């Protein structure tokens, strides 16, 4: 699994795939921005896997999230990385918010993530 490699290993072993993903995401971003007329109408949102929250075990790399963040930055698109907000929300036992032996949120995790995204959207889209 690509996520379980160190960033250096992933970049070395999967350079072509990462470059393809970057190029495809760049094309998609440019197309959506062109169709919407402004980068202000597009927001990329990232959620953490349990391994990103400092739990014991294998630590996942951030190749995908960093690539998305870089493309967003180059295109003046908003990017919300929910990890820090969810670290606070989940506290010392983030595994309570995930399906056991899985990388996906359970119902409580999905609810907390949805609230975090809603708060980000409400703040970032505020019209003063």
For 2-124, CATH number? 3.40.50.1110
CA dihedral (53, 55, 57, 62) in degrees, to 10, reads 10
In eight-state DSSP terms, residue 59 is P
The answer to whether the CB of 120 falls within 8 A of the CB of 109 is no
For the chain, domain boundaries:
2-124
Task: Report pTM.
Answer: 0.82
Calculate mean pLDDT across residues 20-25.
Answer: 97
> What digits encode the pLDDT tens for the residues 30-66?
999 999 999 998 999 998 888 777 655 555 667 888 8
């Amino acid at each position: 699994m690509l996520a379980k490699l160190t960033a250096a290993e992933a970049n070395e072993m999967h350079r072509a795939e990462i470059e393809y993903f970057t190029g495809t995401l760049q094309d998609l971003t440019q197309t959506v921005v062109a169709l919407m007329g402004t980068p202000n109408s597009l927001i990329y949102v990232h959620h953490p896997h349990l391994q990103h929250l400092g739990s014991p075990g294998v630590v996942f790399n951030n190749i995908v999230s960093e690539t998305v963040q870089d493309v967003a930055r180059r295109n003046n698109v908003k990017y919300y990385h929910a990890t820090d907000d969810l670290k606070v929300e989940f506290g010392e036992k983030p595994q309570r918010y995930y399906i056991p032996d899985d990388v996906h949120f359970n119902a409580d995790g999905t609810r907390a993530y949805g609230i975090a995204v809603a708060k980000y959207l409400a703040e970032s889209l505020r019209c003063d």
